[in-house]
Structure 1
């Protein structure tokens, strides 16, 4: 039995589906009693950030996939409960900024704290230190649908964004193959892209000409706060972009080494998500 904590997030949802396709038994921990899950997946209802709310833990847990966002600050308590039910390994999502600092230190420190708690759990562990997700670009969808223009700061900020499906496939390997214990994998996409590159590739997927318009960081901050987002969101976003505009984020070949194929490109992700950005142009 594999337990996925954060089963309705991008990576967790994909990992659940992959595990089921290979015939594994899966329990998905979710706050949502109506969470839509693949056939045969056991729903374990409860709030991972409040471990005492999870009252139906399965027994004989082989491995746990942990999303720090879902766990909140309760990593140690969650893993203690899993270990008491036989868990034999844990795979934890983490961030590239743990080893390649960018943005405000406090955000990387949150992931370092999770990694510390995972190590101290006593379970064999694997960390997946991920670059920014390609799916983060969905934040541009309202602008693209409305105007065809993305207005943001730091257009030259460059990273190697990763497809969440690659992360999930690596996670499943690490959950089901014991040789990955004790490894911290730095996972990125195959190619460095700045923000203008991403907008262009989304436009190519749509068959439309999109534009990137540079505005000031303060304008971006005001717009995000005006949408009701908490201050941490623009702090995290703009701090990272400012640093990636000075020096690009890392690019690794780790996905290819682990999966035996190249990492999926941002263009592939964009082509899969055209519906979010608007109707593709007629050919």
Structure 2
């Protein structure tokens, strides 16, 4: 039995789609009604990391689990590892982040991810860490202003990030969950190129067949947006990440996706074509 958490999120949803109907599959979700892409053979159960009993029920009979946590700075990974060890789970595939390997990254989000990895690494269970760069799907945050104004606004628009298609991350996750030989491995996952926001706006314009212009935000404007949307420590972490991108820390391209999945990593242009309706309205 394979357990998938985070099944209503960007990566977990894709992992479920790829595994559904193939193998015995259980999905643990706070709101089972939001889980999609399942077949009648899949088992969807209600569960919460803070509910020890629901974790025990969800992990019963599970061999491998895909672990996604989002309580930044919290103890959800510790709770899950404790329950998994008690239930006899053998292998955890953890969605982490590329920044954990950057010695200059010391923001709240990165420290939390490093701590989660260490909790799993020292758990006595087999583990695989997935360390992606930014998700291409993050640019869906531009959809509203593209639809209404034909504009993308971002900070440091000419800096480059080797962002990755979430579907590629999910394909690697499925490999790690279903095949031997991935235990004790940490995989850096990137797209096939480092691309800037200016270039992404241009490629979206090509897909939409209309101009999409780029407008540069200043640091104060970006901070104002993030601090309205997120708690201050999270906004500070996001700003720190963009500053590291300005220094070139996120431009490295890795071939792991192609090596593990036997198919090239998806380009941003291809991702944009597949998601054009979100930007077109």
TM-score by structure 2 length? 0.92
Mark the CA change 1:248 to 1:216 in structure 2 (over 3 Å): closer, same or farther. Answer: same
Question: 192, 202, 214: which is aligned to 2:204?
Answer: 202
Give the corresponding residue for 2:17. 17
Aligned length: 277
> What does residue 32 of structure 1 align with?
31
**Cα distance change of structure 1 residues 157 and 254 upon mapping to structure 2, 3 Å threshold:** same
- Report which stretch shifted further, 73-82 or 119-128: 73-82
- In 2: Cα distance, 1:77 partner to 1:28 partner: 17
1:65 maps to 66
**Could you report, residue by residue, the CA deviation over 1:94-134 in whole angstroms, capped at 9, with x for unpaired residues?**
11101135655332111110001111221110001110000
Deviations 1:11-67 (A, max 9, x none): 11111121124x211111111141233113211212225444546325321101001
- Tell me how far apart the structure 1 counterparts of residues 166 and 219 of structure 2 sit (CA, whole Å): 27
1:273 to 272, 275, 281: 275
CA distance in 1 between partners of 2:103 and 2:200 (Å): 22
Please list every run of at least 4 consecutive aligned residues from structure 1 whose deviation after the TM superposition is greater than 4 angstroms. Answer: 101-104
How far has the Cα of 1:70 moved from its partner? Answer: 6.3
Give the unaligned 5+ runs of structure 1. none
The 1:70–1:233 alpha-carbon spacing in structure 2 relative to 1, beyond 3 Å, is: closer
Deviation of 1:192 after TM superposition, in Å, equals: 0.7
TM-score, structure 1 as length reference: 0.91
Superposed displacement of residue 270, structure 1: 0.9
Distance 1:142 1:51 in 2: 40
**Aligned residues of 1:102 and 1:240 also touching (Cα < 8 A):** no
Q: Aligned pair in 2 of structure 1 residues 237, 58: CA closer, same or farther (>3 Å)?
A: closer
Contact residue 157 and residue 242 of structure 1 kept, 8 A: no
Q: Please identify, of 128-137 and 213-222, the stretch whose mean Cα deviation from structure 2 is larger.
A: 213-222
What are the equivalent positions in structure 2 for 1:94-105 lying under 5 Å apart? 94-101=96-103, 104-105=106-107
- Residue 125 of structure 1 corresponds to which residue in structure 2? 127
What's the Cα RMSD here?
A: 1.9
Q: Report matched runs for 1:176-187 at 5 Å.
A: 176-187=178-189
